[in-house]
Amino acid sequence: MRSFMVLSSLARLASLAVLAACTSTPVPETQVTADTAAKTTPFEAASHLWLEEVEGADALAWVTAQNARTLGELEADPRYAGFEAAALQVLNSSERIPYGSVRDGYVYNFWQDEVNVRGLWRRTTAASYRTQAPAWETILDFDKLAADEGKNWVFKGADCFRPEAGAKYSCLLSLSDGGKDAVVNREFDIDTKSFVDGGFVTAEAKQGLAWAGADTLLIATDWGAGTVTESGYPFVVKRWTRGAPPESAAEVIRGKMTDVGVWPMVMKLDDGRVLQGAVQAETFFTSKYFWLPDGEEGAVQWPIPLKSSPKGIYKGQFLFSLEQDWTPEGLGAFKAGDLVAFELEAFLSTRTLPSVSLVFRPTETQAVDGVAVAKGAALLAISDNVVGKVLRLEPSANGWTTTPVDLPGAGQVSIAFSDEEETAVFLNYEDFLTPSSLLDYDIATGAVTTIKSLPAKFDTAGLKVGQFFATSKDGTKVPYFIIHRADMKLDGTTPTLLYGYGGFQVSMTPAYSAVMGRNWLVQGGAYVMANIRGGGEFGPNWHQAGLKLNRQRIYDDFIAVGEDLVTRKVTAPEHLGIMGGSNGGLLMGVMLNQRPDLWRAVVVQVPLLDMLRYHLLLAGASWVDEYGSPDLPEERAFLETISPYQNFDPSKDYPVPFFVTSTKDDRVHPGHARKLAKRFEEAGLPFYYFENMDGGHAAAADQTARAKRSALEYTYLARQLTGRPD
């Protein structure tokens, strides 16, 4: 167990998801009652709500027909087979870095390939891990488990607790049926490689668990009627003792149904103490953190701002980042984006805010990406003009010092592994044209060495990367990266794919994509990544500039990047395509309506599209802090101006869109994509539609499904943007 753990903190969920947004349990919003109908237009209530019935017979019949039509056309394209084969070769290749977690001299890894479709949980010794061919020991085969139990199990991770050095680990495995966010947790014995007879087992739900001791869990889950929020998250945390039925667990903290959710939180200190607690997310971006002192009733709230995020404990200092300006009484002023700290024991003894120190203040072009605490070191990952850097942090009598860590280049760096109980620290480096390298950071010397690096998976000869700035409608300079052939002619003929997200403070950073490289760059296309507002590239203010009524700024930024590409004659509208997923899928829907003339291809992945009902569907209620509430007149009035579903106009000359979603997505409701696609169908306008029956919010549960989805998308893009239908 990591000694600092905040399970399922909402602000962090946004950054963990590949297609970010949040999770929820299904609720009966698909039943059209007088209340729900009043919140829709008569058109919606009369015609399309049946498509929100996820497993409804009529809805699935429509989905099946659309899938058959789309697959029949795209798979028949002679390019499809090559795209799929190229993607499969990458995704199933054994030449992948086996990222893992270190525990007591072993490295634990989850691995999928063409043979192990659902994957293996395995381990090897730390020494073997550093060799070219580690000797892996299989702990659990999920394909076999799924076959034995008749389930489509998707592994969602392991949470292990060791009470003291050398003692036996207790592990909880999270398993999802079909890739949903809802999981079951089951206790597993690593030594016997079997589930623990009579061990902890939870019912399927959106849940959070934390080890409070070897025989005690803090658990937040669906306890029955009236125990989940309007967003479908749990808001009651209980303490559950080994051997007792879950219904006997004692309640330790309760939130409100109007919260986003409440989850367990624990901190394991250097002396072995485990501080029990919880995080109450009142909104998506505001949370209260609580400590539950041993032997006492009631909770003690941590004295930190609502918009802040705990980062860990280092040398007795409690580190947290700020997403808002903060002036604690008598302690000076801090800015949104700052990393700050105070002495933990001082708070535990007085239960009031101690003196707060500034650890790191980003410049206008920087942002704090993350903090990693290992046994003997603390590292800070930052973004500097959308380029990753790592700094080592140390407290001193004169304040905190930072020392740069040497990295291979100007790309993306992330902290792949650290744990307060381990001295191992792994970093990952990559950029658009450089495959990932796993780096070892030596705490004692500060040296960085390469443990593993991937060979090139596509030909980068003749390719170059550039960073440019577009000017948005309000004068803001918006950066974007472009990867293209060095000899690209500026004549407007280059097929160009523009990707964007713009929400939830999620940053878009340089990353190596062999699938995109093979199926797009090598084919002569250019790829563009837009760093529009709403993301976290320049800290909290860059994100907050596009919240709620200011969201049009995000869309203006994206349009500005598209127009800049045309102005610079990189491409032209007939060769320009765009792509985005989840919140980025909403961006795509807005772009369909606001600038249908600027693009010829639009890939709309697992999208939000009905912004007048999104808060009634699955986790939608948790996102009102980002988008605004359709129940508030002023915010509804704005949402009416951008909502892709309501703003569809059958008389417009739309580009042919491609909608991609998943039946098993219990995060963003598939009804969004279904309903807008249905409007295209009713208007007699061409569109493509593919709904994977498994896969959750990623729209794919295994490598084969990922390759298929990718091949469909690139086939569509090639047909639309190269001027050659086949």
Q: Strand 601-605 relative to strand 576-581: parallel, antiparallel, unpaired?
A: parallel
Q: Phi and psi for 39 in degrees, rounded to 5? A: -95, 10
Cα atoms found within 13 Å of the Cα of residue 502, Cβ hemisphere only: 36
Say whether 582 is catalytic. Answer: yes
Q: Which two tokens stand for residue 285?
A: 């971006």
Neighbour-count burial of 714, counting CB atoms closer than 10 A to its CB (0-12 exposed, 13-18 middle, 19+ buried): buried
Q: State the Cα–Cα distance between residues 433 and 451, nearest whole angstrom.
A: 19
**346 exposed, middle or buried (CB, 10 Å; 0-12, 13-18, 19+)?**
middle
| 82, 159, 457, 465, 573 from 485: Cα distances, Å | 21, 45, 17, 9, 19
Strands (E), 327-422: 339-343, 356-360, 366-374, 377-384, 388-394, 401-404, 412-417
Annotated catalytic, 697? yes
Catalytically annotated residue among 176, 513, 582, 710: 582
Name 10's bridge partners.
none
User: How far is residue 133's CA from residue 114's CA, in Å, rounded to a whole number?
Assistant: 19
Which listed residue (615, 622, 697, 710) is catalytic? Answer: 697
Supply the DSSP string of 35-69, one letter for each residue: HHHHTS-HHHHHHTGGGG-TT-HHHHHHHHHHHHH
Coil vs helix vs strand at 641: helix
Dihedral pair phi/psi, residue 681, rounded to 5°: -60, -45
8 A C-beta contact, residue 319 and residue 341 = yes
Structure tokens at 396: 């001193």
- Taken in order 434, 440, 443, 447, the sign of the CA dihedral is negative
User: What SS3 class is residue 184?
Assistant: strand
Rounded Cα distance, 219 and 206, in Å? 11
CB neighbour list of residue 154: distance below 8 Å, 6 or more residues apart? 118, 142, 175, 176, 177, 178, 179, 696, 701
First to last CA, the chain: 52
CB atoms within 10 A of CB 653: 8
Helix (H) / strand (E) containing 420:
none
How far, in Å, CA of 509 to CA of 467, rounded?
12
In 3-state terms, what secondary structure has residue 537?
coil
| CB 380 within 8 Å of CB 390 | yes
Return the H-helix or E-strand segment holding 515. helix 514-516
How far apart (Å, rounded) are the C-alpha atoms in residues 671 and 606? 10
Lookup: tokens for 455: 């060979």
Please give the Cα distance from 588 to 163 (Å, whole number): 48
Nearest CA-CA partner of 418 in 378, 454, 369, 462: 378
Farthest-apart Cα atoms in the chain, separation: 73
Q: What angle do CA 203, 207, 211 make, to 5 degrees?
A: 95
Ranges assigned E (strand) in 269-400: 274-281, 287-291, 300-301, 308-314, 317-322, 339-343, 356-360, 366-374, 377-384, 388-394
* Cβ-based neighbours of 39, under 8 Å, separated by 6 or more: 612, 613, 616, 630, 631
Q: Which positions are catalytic?
A: 582, 697
